[in-house]
Chain A
């Protein structure tokens, strides 16, 4: 099972919006609305930011939103803030022998 494809890095200025893509196949991203997104600071555990493509857990800022089109899911961060600088990973349920597949990860830099 190959990892989902994410851009290695995305950057933006404070207040701007950025979008991180997550491309898979019809066996994972395209086949199920079971995409989730995780934020990870250096040396820390990942934190759930979005589940089931576009649902935000309680306590997560509404500046974070998710969507999906075909085999590509996206995470948008609007009103970018310094605290958003972190690594972001997508994940999807997969019909392959592996239950879950993660994305390659994207480093978000706030300029």
Chain B
């Protein structure tokens, strides 16, 4: 069974940092692009970042560019996002998702992890 399990969320002060992890199992992680999507409380989905299967190319939403860094460790089957200079508006549930099909050239997101909550507040 394909599974994605996020961890690392929590409460952090504005300006602080946090690293989220997404542990993958049930598929050949190194052959899939991966992505992060977030959802602020009571709001819609917002794409955050994506990374190619080989980790050679990363993409970011304008709202996080320069503050977030996506990475992956293929031997460990794990996806990461390092979040720096956090703001109150970064408060959200963060989901990781696999990108089948054509990967970062328009692939769909399936499946999604259960999400991890990040709260930025003093």
Contacts and interface: CB of A to CB of B under 8 A. Distances in A.
Interface of A: 1, 3, 32, 34, 36, 38, 40, 44-48, 51-52, 57, 89, 91, 93, 97-105
Interface string B92-105: 00010000010011
Closest 10 CB pairs of A and B: A34-B106, A93-B106, A51-B108, A48-B110, A100-B47, A45-B112, A36-B108, A105-B44, A102-B45, A99-B59
25 contacts: A1-B61, A3-B44, A34-B106, A34-B107, A38-B109, A44-B114, A45-B114, A48-B109, A48-B110, A51-B108, A52-B101, A57-B110, A89-B44, A89-B45, A91-B108, A91-B109, A97-B62, A98-B47, A99-B47, A99-B50, A102-B37, A102-B44, A102-B46, A103-B44, A104-B44
Q: Name B's interface SS.
A: loop
Interface of B: 35, 37, 44-47, 50, 59, 61-62, 95, 101, 104-115
A38 B115 CA distance: 15
Contacts of B61: 1, 98
A45 B101 contact: no
B52 to A, nearest CB: 11
B112 A46 contact: yes
